[in-house]
Each structure stands twice: as structure tokens, then as C-alpha cells.
Chain A
Amino acid sequence: MNQVAIIAAKEVTDGLRNRWIIIVTLLMAGLALILALLGSAPTGATKISALAVTVVSLSSLSIFFVPLIALLLSYDSVVAESDRGTLMLLLAYPVARWQVIAGKFCGHFALLSLAIIVGYGAAGLTIVATGGGNWADQVWSSLAGLIGSSILLGAVFIALGLMISARARERGTAAGLAIGIWLFFALAYDLGLIGLLASDAGPMLSEQATTALLLANPADVYRLFNLTGSTETAVLSGMAGMVGGNAISPYVLLALLAGWAALPLTAACMLFKGRPL
């Protein structure tokens, strides 16, 4: 059995055993169900499907929720093993350092994927069951896109968490850095961007520059993907005007998210390779 798969399987077992991920899955499902059941109430006259409303609401929430869960999963995965004393033993086995990072990433990725698929899938099924949509609706692709892109967004922040964990010498430092990263990407970046656009320098920014600034934040890439993915969600989210006729291909946005995950993951492998024991 491949070393990466063995380590990933252990992470999954541990995640399921300590019930952490079960709690997260229930939280996600609960949140998604509340949005699906209550959030779709005002759609009667607008001719917008309940599923579209749910997708927009969920994606807006996921920008904050998914990165937070992903960071909580991974921020201490290396540094905690170092603290506990299990890291040295693990590395005494025939395992390359990059395999440790890759194994942990795959394990956390599987856990988060499970939580998102079960949690958000429950919302979709509930809408169908309550007559808010049907299997033929075009908006189903939006829900599938939401689930897929949420998993990718999670992957980005799992990788960022691993990068922190591979570098930090103490758990407290890793926790601080994780909070900092979450605040920056989920909140501060957009506030800064809005501030920039509203400032005197705003008019000087070209459309391309604004787009580039949006794409430099994985949370905004995720937002663009989900809120401009279909005409219905774009209209509902108010993003239709912003992207106008220059909508970026959803495939490019997904590739960007994947790239955003690959970059810190590579950095985590390199940092861990140089980490003294």
C-alpha cells in the first residue's frame, strides 16, 4: 500500500474516530437545510428556483465557513505531531517527507469532501423532496458546481493550513497564523479591495487589474465561480453586472482554485523538508 494512502487512511480514521468531522458534517447539513427551507421562501413571485436561492446563500456562507473548517483541520497536523513526539517516529519509517504532507492533505481532503457532499447534498435533496426543484432543473449544475468548488476551496485552505503547520514550531503560533490567513482571505482582502476601488486610485484601476486582484484571492475566485456560474445565480447575487460580457470561464476559475491549492501544498512540502527535528 502506498505510503501516502496509508497516512491518508489514518487521518480519515482519526477524523471519524474523534467525531470532529461528524460534528462539522452535521453543522453543514443543518446550515444548508435551514437555508434551503427558510431561505427559499421569497422566491414565489421572482420565478427564481428555490435551488438557485439556496446555491447563492450557501456559497456566500461557504466563503467564510469552508476555509475556517479546512484551516481547523490542518493547521496543527504537523506541529501537533511534533509536539506529541509522533513525528520523529513517523519519519523513522520508510516515508519521504513529502509523502507525509501529501498523505495528510489527502486525508483531510477526503474528510472535508465527505462533509461538504453530505451537508450540501442534503440541502439539494430536501429541496427536491419539498417540491422546490426537480432533477431536470438546469440549476442542478450550479449545486454540483457549488459542491465541487467548495471542495476545491477547502483544498486551498487545507494546503495553506499544512503550510503553516510545516513551518510553525509551536501550536499557538500555527493557530495565530491560521486565524490571520482566514481573516485576510475571507474578510480583510475584500474590504481592502473595496476601499481601493472607492478611493481616489479606484478610477485608475483598469477592469483587467480589478479582475486580476479578484483572482489573486481564492475566496473571490470561488465567489466568481458560484455567483456567476449561471445566469440565474448571477442575477440573484447581483454579480451579473460586474462580470458583464467578460465572464471568466468556469473551467479557468476551477483551474485557478486547483492552482491555489497546489501552490501552498508545494510550499508545505518544501518547508517540511527543511524542518529541523
Chain B
Amino acid sequence: MSTAAAIAADALTKDYGTLKALDRVSLDIRPGECIALVGPNGAGKSTLFKLCLGLVPPSAGALSVLGCNPAQGDFTALKSRVGFLPEQAMFQDSLSGTETLRFYARLKGADIALNGEILARVHLSEAAGRRVGTYSKGMRQRLGLAQALIGAPDILLLDEPMSGLDPEARRNFFQILDEEKARGAAIVLSSHILTELEARTDRVAILSRGQLKAMGSIADLRAKLNLHTRIRLNAGSQQMQRLAGHFEGRFDKTCFMNGTAVLDCAPEDKLELLKELMSADLTFENIDILEPSLEQVFAVHTAGGNQS
């Protein structure tokens, strides 16, 4: 497997008139790596996909996909090594799932005999003979994923791939993601469903208003932001009063209300605080430890602020 970046962007910029859809974005994605692009609507995620596919030329900066500039004509042939799932997975309603996949496989010059296997991977074998017009949104999305998998591409660009998928289909999607990663495909996916991405992606790129606000593993991003770990305790009112008294001067009284204590601390102080709580002669009904989620990391970056 090559260790060269499958996608490398250097100060990549795309303007639409006065609108800066992407502003000096630099990133690289290696084979076998899965990267999540997160950001609010209009952050530039889809523009990045379009640039990677050579559908729009960059306004400035450099972009290399599979070692080639996608804005140049000779990239067209290389597109057979890229799988793309658009945000809205739509197909010709009059064709069946099998016919749709056959059409795209032919365009890619891929082996049509493997289409049945691909349809089975996305759990569409039974509906393959039906017209796409009769498919539900989730089924269309799965067909979209199936066409992206045609030809075992080196790069998978998946724009909101979990949109419309039920929990079982999501599990299947993540299984396919793992298989594709293991095969060596570089995967870039964008999603709003952040909670499910945490354990599934190697790195996260946070885009906001066209700018790359942060990129790294979720653990790195949490550490850099110095976000608080939250310890939440439930106890009776008497115990809660004692707890408030114990921490007087260190935590505000509002942290101990309605039988629930919410104590925020730096991640490195978490164990000390827990020890202190355990050694205090108090009885708790429940204790939760809440690490900063990707949602919090995302919120900090897209709000343009920093908690640290």
C-alpha cells in the first residue's frame, strides 16, 4: 500500500463571486484512513468534494488527488478510482437497482458480475429488481453507497452517507466503512450525526465558513481545546447540602441543585476529584463521567471561540 497521500490540499481556495466557499484549506488524507468532515451547512464540505472530483476548478492553492490535479482533463480517467456518494442520492426512477448499478459499473469499466455482491453488501439484493422510483429514502441512500463501492475505489467521498439510514443500516454502513478502510481505501465522509462518528473515524476536520478550524484525532482536539470533563452526581437533598458544603469556595452553589451536582474539571484533574468524592463520607445514588463529545469540540470551533 502506498503511503503517499491519496488527497493533498495546500491552501486550497474556492470563491463563488464574493463568497469564499473554501479559504486556504490545507489537509492530507492517507490510504486506509477515514476522515470526517464536520461543519455547519455552508461550511464548504460539498465544495471540497466537488474540487476533489474536478467538478469545479480551485480559485487558488493546490490540490492533488491520486497524485493528479483533478482540475485537469487527464483526471477524467482517474475518476474510475474514486467512489462518490452525493448528499442527495437520486437516480433514474424508471430503472431498477440492478440496472442503475449496471449503468454506473459500465461507466467505470468495472466488472458487472460483481454488482450482485455489492448489492448484497448494502442489503439491497431483494429489492434489486424493483424500480428505484419505489425505493424509500434509506434504500436510495444504500443504492448510492453501492454505486460508490463499484470498482473497489482507492478513494471514497461520502457526502452525508448516513442521511435517511435506520439504526441497522447505519451499523451495516460502519461495517462497510471498516472493510473499505482495511482494504486500503482513503475515506472522507461528511456528516451531521457527530455522536456516531467519534469511534469510527481516525481524524476529524472541522470546517466553518470555508476555513479549516481544526484537524486531528478527537482526543487531540479535545486536549488542544482543554475542554472540561463533567462529573454528574445524584444524591438526596441532605447529602447534596453536605456536598455543597464540602466544595464551598471551589464550586458555585448553583452546581448543587435539585438533587444533582454538576462538577466540571480539567481532564487531568478528573481522577483526583473522583478520589476526593469517594473519600468524602457521602452516599450517592449515581455518578456519571462525561468526557467532552465531538459535538462540544464542534460547537467550540464553529462558534469561533475557545474555552481554554
Contacts and interface: CB of A to CB of B under 8 A. Distances in A.
Contact of A18 (B53, B56, B89, B94): B94
A91 B53 contact: yes
A91 B76 CA distance: 9
Interface string A13-27: 110011000000000
Contact of B95 (A6, A14, A85): A14
A3 B56 CA distance: 21
Contacts of B107: 3, 6-7, 90, 93-95
B84 A89 contact: yes
Given A3-B107, A85-B86, A92 B92 contact: no
B77 interface: yes
Nearest to B131: A17
Interface in A224-277: 276-277
Interface in A92-124: 92-96
B104 interface: yes
B94 A14 contact: yes
A88 B108 contact: no
A57 to B, nearest CB: 35
A86 B79 CA distance: 16
A154 to B, nearest CB: 22
Contact of A96 (B76, B92, B95): B76
A86 B104 contact: no
A1 B103 CA distance: 11
Interface in B83-102: 84, 86-92, 94-95, 99
A276 B79 contact: no
Contacts of B56: 276-277
B24 interface: no
A6 B107 CA distance: 7
B108 A277 contact: no
A17 B95 contact: yes
Contacts of B73: 96
A86 B89 CA distance: 8
28 contacts: A3-B107, A6-B106, A10-B103, A13-B95, A14-B92, A14-B94, A14-B95, A17-B94, A17-B95, A84-B90, A86-B90, A89-B90, A91-B53, A91-B55, A92-B53, A92-B79, A92-B82, A92-B84, A92-B86, A93-B104, A94-B76, A94-B79, A94-B80, A94-B108, A95-B76, A95-B79, A95-B107, A277-B55
